């Protein structure tokens, strides 16, 4: 199943050493999210791709806002 998901979901990028795959923490989180979307929320693979892409964009936007707020906080602390 993991190999299929690696092909279908480009967000999963394990590091490969000869015949072994090593998954990063981020990969494991993505795999668990995919599992939830497919088995608990009932999405198809195509629907899960769209939902995952949307969620990842949202998380990226939140990270940008957080980083900008941290910069503002750092500036205010210096004054």
At the top level of CATH, which class does the domain 2-78 belong to? mainly alpha
Closest CA to 52 of 72, 38, 65, 63: 38
pLDDT at residue 43 in the model: 96
Q: How far is CA 26 from CA 31, 50, 59, in A?
A: 9, 18, 13
pLDDT at 55: 85
Q: Where along the chain do its domains lie?
A: 2-78
Look at the pTM and tell me if it is higher than 0.85: no
The pLDDT value given to residue 68:
96
- Please give the chain's pLDDT, 79 residues, in tens: 999 999 999 889 999 888 899 999 999 999 999 999 999 999 999 999 999 988 888 888 999 999 999 999 999 998 7
Asked if 12 and 56 count as a contact pair (C-beta separation under 8 A), the reply is no
């Amino acid at each position: 199943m993991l190999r299929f998901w690696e092909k279908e979901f480009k967000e999963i990028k394990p590091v490969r050493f000869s015949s072994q795959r090593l998954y990063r923490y981020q990969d494991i989180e993505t795999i668990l999210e995919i599992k939830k979307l497919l088995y608990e929320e009932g999405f198809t693979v195509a629907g899960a791709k769209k939902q995952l892409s949307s969620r990842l964009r949202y998380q990226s936007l939140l990270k940008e806002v957080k980083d900008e707020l941290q910069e503002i906080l750092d500036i205010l602390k210096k004054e």
